[in-house]
Structure 1
């Protein structure tokens, strides 16, 4: 751009974007050539390049140091050097050459090869401490020991892999926020996992996230968990948890345990995931009182005769619900639920009768549905998975100006019924090649080329016959009066086990 253009654009809103917005835009440019060209848009962007410009260092990984001397862009050389100084780095400890990450720098450690026999060499506490001496490291993945003198305060995230030692106050620096305990790949669930007693003060106040593996099963007494903990995860736990053990800051709890586990559920939870635990009256009454709960997952551990989820058991604040259990009826699910996953249904009495007012944005179920009627579709896009086995779909209404390319229908359907007033202009590829019968219902706003060759029966207004009669694949044409539509609505029955002939009507 010429200087004259630059001078005439001094009041241009884009030329005068703030540095914060320039950084946001700049971060979307991955190629360094694009980043350099970005600065040439105007004089201001070039003169202020030090305030927002950084090179993407990824292409430089693994390059020998002497290559850097061949960098000849003097206007960007100081920025290039500064970009190489990573401020927040992750340290990966692994002997796997196919680990799914790229090395920014590889450190070689001296190994004592006088060991006669060994199956595995691991970093000791001194070697790990040496690696963590780089203050730019903030995340550590795959460590199996505590470094000498504990983790430094610059470490924010720690993922243990096969750690089986003990923890003492001082093991973690005050800056750590997230700690995960994981087993080694390929190891048995019952070996090489952390299962040592915890003592008060072992976790700093800065910790907000804790995740334990299956093997950890030690009593959690008051003051063991950090006071600012927000997220806690147990893979399998058998000790009762009283109301003093969990901090009142906890927002997310995921726990799998013995069926008779007793737990005092904190009232301030936002998400709760319980697995393999009996849905007792005590747990039922506690969940009913969780007025801030937004996400709830309940699976396993059910006495199907006595522990149905009943109306009122699920708080009305819940919008995301996962159930692998029994429902008394559809009223057990609040109308506030927008995302429902019911992957394994034992039986339903009347899951979604025609009068159901649920408005789901996502519905996942193992039920095999032969016919699906969609009413009040008020979303701009949706996908129906092929695993549903649906053979007939009826769209009863669509929002105005909807882009049909954002609607994905399964390749299992054989019949498609469109709404009476269809605002959607069908395009090639929208209708799956499996469709044999299509009912346009009323108004037609689609070219004949949108129909796949698999269609042999079509229901249209008589006035549109000339539009489609040339298609060689169509052998049957049914006429409707202008404005009329076939009334095909089948309510869901009450199957107890078999769902092979199930018809389902859902609003999304």
Structure 2
């Protein structure tokens, strides 16, 4: 290859920067710059790190140059600092509470001279703010031109930033009049403790998302702005009447709502609707209660509807009127049904014939319920509990292609030949001596607690495949092998997640086809690394929400390590370095600190 004329090598810096912008992981950005000499040499001219996952961790100071002392890639130090200095969506936390992620953290607001210009989100530990100079803090906020989100806001007495777009109140209980809230506000969450009535014209017209909790007044027409797109109403003790919800509303979520939804309440054009009832929704669904535009529908009941008041068909788990309304929705794509508690000892029935032919996603969590009827062939994602496939709902005369099948059970289901599945997720506890992994599936997540698995057998039967080449499995995730089972993983797996399995017990199971290895548990003694693991190019350790390390093989001699660990103090939590292959055993056995 002639680097002087090669079109890929000589891509402009603008195009290289555009490519980099599509990479989320910074280790991928570093490896991208190592593809050829020109890209490495010119790295400072196009390369910037993704700062979404880089926290500044400046404690009681606005100095951002003191942290991340474990970023040990001298060739990329300038690029790293330039990326950090260009970060414009920083988080400022004020209060004594310990936070795992922040850019700036001040225990006392009086030590803060001004809000840094790169801060867009401010989070207040409100109990601390009260004890400190509240007026001083809110004056600083009102002077800021960069803050767009304020979390923990307790008062509007001292003004808000002109740039504000989102507010989360905490124990806010001040009367509101027209003009109290800035016209720029787009997202508003009143939190808990708000006991004032909201009159028409008070909420700004630019508001797009609103959350009300324990609101003590009946909402009148005109209170909600006409431009509102998303509305969450929690613990509301009044009947919603027609004309209250704005006509342009797209998403509506009613939580702990125990009143009847009557026709005309939900606006035409609504796409998402969720109804959660703590006492059980005890009403018939009248014809036309749901607008025909509905695409996502969710029912959550924490007590069973009263069968004496509602008309059921045989032993149906849902009233007939509910099923009939579901069946009439011409645009419904996703249905979520969650009834965790069933009265009585007998089984109930859900007839899937009521699902419209447009349905793509169906989550069904109702104990002791049998599915009857024929599933629509439009289905792409299916989640259920404690159910066995029956020919009746997936008849052999129809062909199905599921992108995802997820279920909880004590057994692994055999998959009928007329169902093609891209990914399976299995959860639960199993006491079976032999588990046969379903055939014809490319990705399996096996989150089953297989206790005392020593001597048990895990079999990969891919339609009687006689060689690895005919096996379709490419990704396998397991929760844990507490004791080593008898298993021979097919040599087609490219991503293997060993979960909480002990590496000393399981590394020799890794087939040579694996290119990405993921694990969560580290042995406290040196491990033995087989040759199949030494050829793996991507090794990921997931040790917690704020603790992850990625190892990328650069060549036969060196690896690149990029990771972050739980921050303690203000030392930063990033760690990067290049290490020799002789250190791989040590790295895999010890969490980065």
Shorter-normalised TM-score: what interval? 0.5 to 0.7
> Hey, what does 1:129 align to over in structure 2?
139
Per-residue deviation at 1:91?
Answer: 4.2
CA distance in 2 between counterparts of 1:336 and 1:442 reads 31
Q: CA deviation at 1:30?
A: 5.8
**Paired residue for 1:499?**
none
1:147-178 alpha-carbon deviations (Å, 9 max, x no partner): 513x2331122112222333232232222211
Instruction: Write out per-residue CA displacement over residues 66-91 of structure 1, whole angstroms, 9 at most, x where no aligned residue.
Output: 957999x9999699468525433444
Does the 8 Å CA contact 1:176/1:206 hold for their aligned counterparts? yes
- Give secondary structure in 1 for the equivalent of 2:288: helix
Per mean C-alpha deviation after superposition, the further-off stretch among 32-41 and 252-261 is 32-41
Matching residue of 1:18: 15
- 8 Å contact from structure 1 (residues 159, 181) kept in 2: yes
Task: Give the SS at the match of 1:169.
Answer: coil
Distance 1:42 1:36, change over 3 A: closer
- Which of 54, 58, 61 is the matching residue for 1:62? 58
| Structure 1 unaligned regions, length at least 5 | 112-118, 184-192, 456-508
The reply on whether 1:319 has 2:320 as its aligned counterpart is no
SS at 1:7's partner residue? coil
Checking the alignment, whether the CA contact within 8 Å between 2:211 and 2:233 is kept in structure 1 is: yes
- 1:340 pairs with 2:362: yes
- Preserved contact between residue 372 and residue 392 of structure 1 (Cα < 8 Å): no
1:294-333 matches, within 5 Å, as: 294-300=295-301, 302-305=305-308, 306-307=310-311, 308-310=319-321, 311-314=323-326, 315-324=329-338, 329-333=351-355
Return the offset for 1:34. 6.4
Q: Secondary structure at the match of 2:286?
A: helix
The separation in 2 between residues aligned to 1:68 and 1:298, in whole angstroms, is 51
Q: 1:207 to 1:82 in 2, by over 3 A?
A: same
Q: Residues 32 and 56 of structure 1 are in contact (CA less than 8 Å); yes or no, is this contact kept in structure 2?
A: no
C-alpha separation in 2, matches of 1:294 and 1:89: 36
Distance 2:51 2:362 in 1: 41
CA distance, structure 1, for counterparts of residue 465 and residue 447 of structure 2: 15
Whether contact under 8 Å (2:355, 2:376) holds in the other structure is no
The aligned residue for residue 383 of structure 2 is 364
CA contact (8 A) 2:335 2:361 kept: yes
2:6 to 9, 17, 23: 9
Going by fraction, where is strand more abundant, 1 or 2?
2
TM-score (norm 1): 0.64
Is residue 253–residue 275 contact of structure 2 (8 Å, CA) maintained in 1?
yes
Residue 152 (structure 1) aligns with: 161
| 8 A contact 1:26–1:53 mirrored in 2 | no
Match of 1:167 in 2: 176
Deviations 1:358-385 (A, max 9, x none): 554443334x3466777756346x4544
Instruction: Tell me by how many angstroms 1:130 deviates.
Output: 1.7
Q: CA offset at residue 261 of structure 1?
A: 4.4
2:401 to 357, 371, 378: 378
Q: Are the counterparts in 2 of residues 138 and 154 from structure 1 also a CA contact under 8 Å? A: yes
Cα distance change of structure 1 residues 440 and 67 upon mapping to structure 2, 3 Å threshold: closer
Tell which deviates more after alignment, 435-444 or 306-315: 435-444
Out of 174, 182, 192, the residue aligned to residue 191 of structure 2 is 182
Partners of 1:92 and 1:140 within 8 A in 2: no
Q: How far, CA to CA, are the matches of 1:275 and 1:302 in structure 2? A: 12
Stretches of structure 2 that go unaligned for 5 or more consecutive residues are 112-125, 312-318, 340-347, 472-484, 489-593
User: Number of residue pairs matched?
Assistant: 413
- Going from structure 1 to structure 2, the CA distance change for 1:438 and 1:14 (only over 3 Å counts) comes to same
Assess, with a 3 A threshold, how the Cα gap between structure 1 residues 82 and 172 changes in structure 2: closer, same or farther: farther
Give how far 1:393 is off: 2.5
Contact map agreement 1:260 1:278 (CA 8 A) in 2: yes
- How far has the Cα of 1:443 moved from its partner? 4.7
Cα deviation for residue 292 of structure 1 reads: 1.4
Conserved? CA contact 2:238–2:259, under 8 Å: no
Partner residue of 1:478? Answer: none
